[in-house]
């Protein structure tokens, strides 16, 4: 009896709602199925220029496998057939628009394809020597700055102002809400102490939702490396000849060795937070600098010494590196390293 009472009450409420809609001219809001249930999927969702695109349709309110489906591209019929639920095309250049219309038994849906592009650029504040031709790679615990450069062109081939777009950032699959928003095209992060690559993704869209594009980048985590070079009195540091794990023959009675801390934190290097622990034949050397001078022992005709060095970042303990090499000397070593180049 209680169930019947509830049913009668619900029916009475529905009747009142329908009467109100009739009196005041209100139309009930259609559900997804009442709206035809037509769903259009575009893959990829944010296509770039000259990219293969697949468009598919489904209708959850009716069986469309037996219906004639007509596809039109920019007003011209491209394909038609029974149950033809898929259409493939190639996007145009930046600034172009392709309108694809799907007619399924009189129900028409149109989607617009506006190719857009986003580039992601990143930099890490790690040390490299002057005139180094490579990129300063990211090391563990060091900040990374990522900049998004979207290329959204309207029909007049005018680029939309990147500072007036919306940026949604994700780091390692997690939304970065405080760094996302209007005009926030730059992201700066400091990864955790875990040694692993950093995955950064951004979705950029115009305020009206007409343009959208996404990009993803994986930033590798590089181990810092200390590399030893001869610092020649005439030619300076001989960067083209690393001494790591090599046998170096001393030219003359002494040789200056420079240790270059590649990809250590630039900030800590400037504030002298990197320690240098040198050893000669496993005995500690009091000098704690980047450069050290080794001299041939007096009254010794020839010999060899094992040099080792450990460099550590005192504030970021995951940044450290080791190097080992041999220094040899003979009476004939005066001419052994002539012609360094």
In sequence order, which residues have a C-beta less than 8 Å from that of residue 331 and are 6 or more positions away?
A: 301, 302
Residue given tokens 């200390």 in the structure block: 226
Contacts of 335 (CB under 8 A, 6+ apart): 251
Q: Tell me whether domains 117-219 and 225-334 share a fold.
A: yes
Tens-of-pLDDT digits for all 341 residues of the chain?
A: 443 344 444 444 344 434 433 333 333 322 222 335 889 999 999 999 999 999 999 998 889 999 999 999 999 999 999 999 999 999 999 999 999 999 998 889 999 999 999 999 999 999 999 989 999 999 988 899 999 999 999 988 999 999 999 999 999 999 998 999 999 999 999 887 778 899 999 999 999 999 999 999 999 989 999 999 999 999 999 999 999 999 999 888 889 999 999 999 999 999 999 999 999 999 999 988 999 999 888 777 788 999 999 999 998 888 999 999 999 987 654 444 444 33
**What is the CATH class of 117-219?**
mainly beta
Cα Dmax for the chain: 116
Residue the block writes with tokens 């951004």: 202
Q: DSSP E strands: which ranges in 125-220?
A: 144-151, 166-171, 174-175, 181-182, 186-189, 198-205, 212-219
Cα 270 from Cα 260, distance rounded (Å): 13
Contact yes or no for 256/292 (Cβ under 8 A): yes
Q: How much is the pTM?
A: 0.76
Residue 193, C-beta contacts closer than 8 angstroms, at least 6 positions apart: 140, 141, 318
Each domain of the chain, given as residue ranges in start order, spans 35-114, 117-219, 225-334
- Tokens describing residue 306: 């094992």
The tally of CA atoms less than 13 A away on the side-chain side of residue 129 is: 16
Question: Going by DSSP bridges, is the β-strand pair 166-171/303-313 parallel, antiparallel, or unpaired?
Answer: unpaired
* H runs (alpha helix) in the chain: 2-24, 266-270
Rounded-to-integer distance, Cα 80 and Cα 70, Å:
4
Residue written as tokens 């005439």? 234
How high is the pLDDT of residue 335? 45
- pLDDT of res. 298: 79
Superfamily the domain 35-114 falls into: Immunoglobulins (2.60.40.10)
Other CB atoms within 10 Å distance of the CB of residue 264: 26
Beta bridge mates, 278 = 309
CATH of domain 225-334: 2.60.40.10
Show the tokens assigned to 325. Answer: 């090499």
């Amino acid at each position: 009896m209680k169930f019947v009472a509830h049913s009668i009450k619900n029916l009475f409420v529905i009747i009142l709602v329908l009467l109100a809609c009739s009196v005041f001219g209100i139309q009930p809001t259609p559900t997804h199925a009442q709206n035809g249930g037509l769903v259009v999927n575009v893959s990829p969702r944010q296509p770039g220029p000259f990219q293969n695109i697949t468009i598919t349709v489904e209708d959850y309110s009716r069986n469309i496998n037996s219906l004639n489906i007509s596809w039109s591209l920019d007003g011209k019929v491209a394909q038609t057939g029974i149950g033809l639920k898929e259409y493939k095309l190639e996007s145009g250049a930046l600034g172009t628009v392709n309108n694809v219309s799907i007619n399924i038994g009189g129900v028409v849906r149109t989607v617009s394809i506006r190719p857009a592009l986003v580039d992601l650029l990143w930099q890490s504040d790690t040390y490299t020597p002057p005139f180094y031709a490579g990129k300063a790679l990211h090391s563990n615990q060091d900040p990374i700055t990522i900049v998004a450069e979207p290329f959204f062109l309207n029909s007049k081939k005018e680029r939309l102002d990147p500072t007036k777009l919306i940026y949604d950032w994700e780091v390692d699959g997690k939304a970065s809400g405080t760094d996302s928003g209007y005009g926030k095209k730059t992201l700066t992060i400091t990864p955790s102490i875990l040694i692993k690559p950093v995955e950064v993704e951004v979705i950029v869209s115009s305020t009206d939702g007409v343009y959208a594009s996404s990009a993803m980048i994986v930033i590798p985590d590089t181990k810092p490396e200390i590399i030893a070079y001869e610092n020649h009195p005439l030619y300076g540091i001989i960067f083209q000849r690393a001494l790591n794990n090599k046998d170096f023959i001393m030219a003359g009675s002494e040789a200056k060795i420079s240790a270059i801390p590649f990809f250590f934190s630039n900030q800590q290097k400037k504030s002298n937070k990197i320690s240098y622990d040198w050893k000669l034949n496993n005995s500690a050397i009091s000098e704690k600098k980047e450069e050290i001078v080794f001299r041939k022992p007096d009254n010794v005709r020839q010999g060899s010494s094992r040099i080792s060095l450990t460099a550590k970042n005192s504030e970021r303990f995951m940044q450290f590196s080791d190097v080992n090499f041999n220094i040899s000397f003979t009476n004939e070593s005066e001419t052994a390293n002539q012609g360094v180049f």
